[in-house]
Amino acid sequence: MPELPEVEAVRAGLARHVVGRTVTAVEVLDPRPLRRQDGGAEAFVRGLTGRVLTAAVRRGKLMWLPLDDGAALSAHLGMSGQLLVRGTSALGDGETTDPSRLLADGPRSADLTATRAPSLVRNLSVRPTHLRVRLHLSARDGDPGPDNGAGGAALDLVDQRMFGGLHVTDLVPTPDGAPGGAGSPDALLPADAAHIARDLLDPALDRRGAVARVRSSGRAVKTILLDQRVVSGIGNIYADEGLWAARLHGLRPGSWLGPRVAARLLEQTAAVMERALAAGGTSFDALYVDADGAAGFFARELAAYGRAGLPCRRCGAPMRVQTIGGRSHTSCPRCQSRPRRPRR
């Protein structure tokens, strides 16, 4: 499943290519991704047609596109969902092909909406396999024009496994009054996302509170990291990577961690995700791409996830994999020793 860096790469592409455009028509080729839409496909089409996409926002692994009527198009990619832009210009306004300028002040402060140029301009006449929903968008200066197979641009939801989804929903104020997520200063978020905690790259995250939530649970720390109510955006990949970087085994209970250890774990996990963002995310196959269809390259830098049997990049011991809470956990038996129950 795409995690924070991969979803941010998609959000960045949407910010480049679709923000400011009007939805001129909506095609629902398969209504199953709209299963969360009140009123079904008809309400979905009615809620989007004629509306302007005003921003592209992300919190954790959830994205939404605010509309000019105060509602929003909420999007979750699930296991294999893709949001692909078609019929737009090769470079957005003010975009650069040189990522070094944007990353000069460090990944956290960088504008990640333009770290890489789109790989190609897509023809609107092409309908990819597993296309479920297509939003037709208004044209703007710089678009290829009628040669792309139709006027304007399009935003496609392509989903092979059907775990992703779209729905139009209301926006509500954030409980803390801070911006809802990356990509907008507005203190709003989708009504059905109020339970999702802020992510580790969110400047508004209460870090002391996040540390306290980790330490308040007796569950395995790997399971805690995956809980989107504690901190959002972390999945199996970056949980394993953060635990490896912090030299912690995933079975260690959160309540056994001291404040400094818990804080270091969150800091290390955030640092891993920042590096992944700079590389465009982690792509294992053609399902994991950004809005331009480009793959990320962080897979080659992974230290733990998917490396069972390979030597630890730190000490050389063979990495091991086990199951924690129904999820795989790859760790180093030497650097990340399994926890032992304290003597009574």
Instruction: For residue range 4-16, list pLDDT tens digits in order.
Output: 998 998 899 899 8
Q: Under 8 Å CB-to-CB from 344, ≥6 apart: which residues?
A: none
For residue 68, give both structure tokens.
């000019």
What tokens appear for 254 in the block? 């959160």
- How many Å is the maximal CA-CA distance in the chain? 76
Check residue 81 and give its pLDDT.
76
Tens of pLDDT along 66-94?
Answer: 999 999 999 988 777 788 888 775 444 44
39: left (phi over 0), alpha (psi -120 to 50) or beta: left
Q: For the chain, list the domains and their CATH numbers.
A: 4-193 (3.20.190.10), 207-331 (1.10.8.50)
Query: Could you list the active site residues?
Result: 2-3, 61, 327
| Beta-strand pair 23-28/131-137 | antiparallel
| CA–CA gap between residue 240 and residue 318 (Å, rounded) | 15
- Nearest by Cα to 319 from 298, 299, 336: 336
Q: Which tens digits make up the pLDDT trace of 133-188?
A: 999 999 887 676 554 444 678 999 988 777 779 999 999 999 999 999 999 999 99
65 pairs with which residues across the strands?
73
DSSP 80-100: TEEEEEES--SS-TT--S-HH
Query: For the segment 81-128, what is each residue's pLDDT rounded down to a tens digit?
Result: 788 888 775 444 444 333 332 233 333 333 333 333 334 335 555 566
pLDDT in tens, 219-243: 999 999 999 999 999 999 999 999 9
